[in-house]
Amino acid sequence: MTVPQGAHIAGGRRPFVNRTDLMDRFRRELTRSSEEPRLLNVHGLPGVGKSRLLREWKREADARGRTALLDLRLPGSHQVESALAQLRAEFGSRGVKFDRFDIAYTAFWQKIHPQQVLRRSGDLFGPHGDAAARILEGASGASVIGAIAAGIRMSLQGIAALKKNKLVKAEPELGSLGDMLTADLLDTVTRMFVQDLADASTAEPYVLFVDSYDVLGVVDGESGSTFHDTWLRDLLEQLRHGLIVLAGREPVRWQEWVGQMDSCGVHPLESRYCEELLSNAGVQDTVRQAIITRASQGIPFYLELAVDTPERAAGEREVPQDRIKDRFLDHVPADQRRILQHLGLARLFNRSMFMRFVKDDTLWGELTEYSFVQRIPGEWYQLHQLMVDALHAQWTLERQRPAHEVLQLFWEEYAGSSGMRHPAHTVIGFAPLQEAVYHGLRAGGMTAATALNHADRTKAVFGSQSVNGIITDIRAYLDQVGPGSGHDPELEDVARCLAVEDHVLRGRGREAQRELVGQDPDLTTPLGARLGLAAAHAHRLMGESQEARDTFEQLWTGPEDAVRGLAGFALADITMCAGDFPGAFALAAEVSEHSGPDEGVRRAELKRLMHLAHRFLLDFPSAWALLDEAQALFLESDSIHGLADIQTNRAELLALTDPAAAVAAADAALEAQRRLGVGHEVGKILTARAIAQTRLGHLGEAAESFVGAAQTLETVGYRSGRARAELFHAFLYLRTGDQDQAVRSLRLAGERLEAAGVYPFLSILAHKVTERIGYPDESLAAIRQRVTRLVIPLDSVEGYERRMDELIDRLLPPE
């Protein structure tokens, strides 16, 4: 190939020289077959050509089979959710069917976005989400988990809503996705990806390329780099059949891959190949070839950058490697240099962004032809990191600020248009408002309130993985600039608040509390109140009811309207669970008065809370009346979740009052809650059905229902619900004649309830049962003595205990 000397030819299109041994090495790898995956670790100096080598290898592998590339330089590629979406889209475009994964991922997405309606498979996976597409086409605006559950049920009934009904039957996990904790569901998503890819790869192995692994590392003081790569290593360890190519600056030392991993160093080019590259790129002067080769030390990045340098730089005869970038920038025309400096601040850019810095687009074609400009999926481009470093070095942080302001505005406007309509950009690896926060921090005008607003909007569309990206960006920026740099001091609390909320969402109470170590949020400020609310829910997850209650109470009586209603409702709920019924009713009345006319769902929830209180008080007529009132309010508000909860409560109340009707009601409630994927409600319904079946004498069916309830409640970590199921299981044991096991269950229930600080009245009930059957238990007697003072009914204690005795009569085996 011969081109004019100094002509621009983008690096990806320049002839690929030498690397013959590396190409042969890769071809040999492609001919190997193995049940277990193999890992080829590519490593070498910055600029030595690792990314270009991966592209060439990928081109070679594309001709033989299926490939995908995960580029960790993209800011949205650092969490497993987004990485899996990207890999699924790329493998899917090459014919791999991901029916299991599509269902599981869509369920996961709906789990963390319960208010978002997905209508097209392209919202998540592009045009290749076959199983998800079949489900979503029939969803008609309903929740996706509901559509999935319905599709699975139809498949099991032979209605062919899903073509893979044999597969669905063989995968019981697909039928219980909605019952899982978010973390467990994400684990299932990963397993389903691995399984689908493995099934498609027994006859046609795949190659997975992972570029820029070192991006996951952070410099951690004197200890060097610390890698945030647990999710990636976990994913790679589960893979089967294929070849994994992992590229980074340093060789990895993963002991778990010993025997399955080969190291492959990429070294600088020999002189003759440097000269060949230069000649192919249009540098024909042999003297200049020798000068450039000597200066570049065989690093392709510097060779190509020297080629990109305008012709008038040719007279320079000796330029050391560390000056090549400066020489290039010194001789680039001023207008191009200015544009490159601006675009170098962006982690990715497109033509529209380019136009923010120029009045015409005549330079666009020239800029995108430079060797250090790489195109990524869609309309987007990136600059080589070494060039970014050089551009930043020539421009002070203060001078960069106006450009960052422009870039922040660009991303905010982009997010306000097509950029935030659906989460398809997850497949590309970025979220617009994450980039807006990134630039806003460096522009110096990013307030904590704006960052929090952008994070909330991002979470609503792109999911918590993108919020994690914002958390990372904020913390990295604060570490970089250090204290006293003039940034909003509350930004650190924004990152902490978002992290705690994400942990609570995923049921990770311990991780949430680790974020809160040493923190004492100021509950009188908007951000402090929100952080305090998240902290209180973390305490409740960990069974620390008193700590949660104290914070809810402070927030309810505090000045922050944004969280007061949420805190007040949580306080009324926890007060009722603690046995103080008058206190709970008084709080519910106050919260109702505080609620505006547009907060119908909250008013309905308050009515439902009062219904629960009357049910626990065993005042069934009042419970029925309040349940009907709550249902009417939920209907007015068109609340799918609220109406499903009403079905749960109806089944629970019928189990105590009309067991024959309760079984049918429980089946209907199970369908509704499984459709919405609310695991703890499913466990409660199974408990209610088991109680009804026990009372009807259907003991085998009751045993199965209790087992299902226990498994579900253990899975979701609902401690008090698990204790209640254990208490009522005792009545089944009594009907089968196993009094010893019945007493053990009653004792265990009492101990669990007391440990969680909830439902003291049920502990009293448990002890009364042991007295009735003639097996008084000392442990339960002690618990009853401790908790009796906590129970404050609406009427008299004597009247409440009389109703308990009447309930026990209904539940015990008939004489």
* Predicted pLDDT of residue 161: 35
pLDDT band at 746 (very low <50, low <70, confident <90, very high): very high
Q: Are 193 and 199 in contact (CB under 8 A)?
A: no
Backbone torsions φ then ψ of 779, nearest 5 degrees: -65, -45
Say if residue 566's pLDDT is above 70. Answer: yes
- Selected residue with higher pLDDT from 345 and 228: 345
Backbone torsions φ then ψ of 435, nearest 5 degrees: -65, -35
Top mean pLDDT of 303-317, 359-373, 797-811 is at 797-811
pLDDT band at 638 (very low <50, low <70, confident <90, very high): confident
Residue 478 is encoded by which pair of tokens?
């604060």
pLDDT band at 156 (very low <50, low <70, confident <90, very high): very low
pLDDT band at 458 (very low <50, low <70, confident <90, very high): confident
Say if residue 158's pLDDT is above 80. Answer: no
d(CA 715, CA 432): 35
Backbone torsions φ then ψ of 43, nearest 5 degrees: -145, 155
Say if residue 28's pLDDT is above 80. Answer: yes
Bridge partner list, 41: 246, 263
pLDDT band at 582 (very low <50, low <70, confident <90, very high): very high
The burial of 518, by beta-carbon neighbours within 10 Å (0-12 exposed, 13-18 middle, 19 or more buried), is given as exposed
* Predicted pLDDT of residue 124: 58
DSSP structure class, residue 15: P
Say if residue 597's pLDDT is above 70. Answer: no
* Predicted pLDDT of residue 506: 60
The burial of 35, by beta-carbon neighbours within 10 Å (0-12 exposed, 13-18 middle, 19 or more buried), is given as exposed
* Predicted pLDDT of residue 659: 95
* Predicted pLDDT of residue 690: 96
Q: Are 431 and 447 in contact (CB under 8 A)?
A: no
User: Taking residues 247-255, what's their average pLDDT?
Assistant: 89
* Predicted pLDDT of residue 187: 82
- Selected residue with higher pLDDT from 160 and 814: 814
Say if residue 629's pLDDT is above 90. Answer: yes
pTM of the model: 0.67
Q: Are 347 and 382 in contact (CB under 8 A)?
A: yes
Q: Which helix (H) or strand (E) holds 146?
A: helix 144-156
Say if residue 58's pLDDT is above 80. Answer: yes
Residue 700 is encoded by which pair of tokens?
């085998």
Starting at the earlier edge strand, list the strands of the sheet with 243-248: 66-71, 206-211, 243-248, 38-43, 261-265
* Predicted pLDDT of residue 166: 45
Residue 412 is encoded by which pair of tokens?
């905010």
* Predicted pLDDT of residue 641: 73
- Selected residue with higher pLDDT from 12 and 459: 459
| Number of Cβ within a 10 Å radius of residue 194 | 19
User: Taking residues 768-772, what's their average pLDDT?
Assistant: 95
- Selected residue with higher pLDDT from 687 and 304: 687
Say if residue 273's pLDDT is above 70. Answer: yes
Top mean pLDDT of 226-240, 268-282, 679-693 is at 679-693
Pairing of strands 206-211, 217-219: unpaired
- Selected residue with higher pLDDT from 571 and 501: 571
Q: Which of helix, strand or coil describes residue 706? A: helix
* Predicted pLDDT of residue 496: 93
* Predicted pLDDT of residue 290: 85
Top mean pLDDT of 51-55, 464-468, 679-683 is at 51-55
Angle at 69 between CA 63 and CA 75, to 5 degrees: 160
Say if residue 529's pLDDT is above 90. Answer: yes
* Predicted pLDDT of residue 354: 93
- Selected residue with higher pLDDT from 616 and 315: 616
Three-state DSSP string of 173-187: HHHHHHHCCHHHHHH
* Predicted pLDDT of residue 706: 94
Say if residue 703's pLDDT is above 90. Answer: yes
* Predicted pLDDT of residue 10: 44
Q: Are 119 and 136 in contact (CB under 8 A)?
A: yes
Beta-carbon contacts of residue 614 (< 8 Å; ≥ 6 apart): 620, 622, 623, 626
- Report the share of the chain in percent with pLDDT over 70: 81
* Predicted pLDDT of residue 459: 79
Beta-carbon contacts of residue 196 (< 8 Å; ≥ 6 apart): 96, 97, 98, 99, 100, 101
Range in 58-67, 131-140, 778-787 with the lowest mean pLDDT: 131-140
* Predicted pLDDT of residue 123: 53
pLDDT band at 283 (very low <50, low <70, confident <90, very high): confident
353-361: long-range pairs with CB below 8 Å, 24+: 353/407, 353/410, 356/406, 356/407, 356/410, 357/403, 357/406
- Selected residue with higher pLDDT from 584 and 485: 584
Say if residue 277's pLDDT is above 90. Answer: no
Bridge partner list, 265: 43
Provide DSSP, 227-241: E--HHHHHHHHH--S
* Predicted pLDDT of residue 508: 67
Say if residue 447's pLDDT is above 90. Answer: yes
- Tokens 């004197």 correspond to what residue? 222
Report the chain's mean pLDDT, rounded to a whole number. Answer: 81
DSSP structure class, residue 299: -
Say if residue 424's pLDDT is above 50. Answer: no
User: Taking residues 664-675, what's their average pLDDT?
Assistant: 84
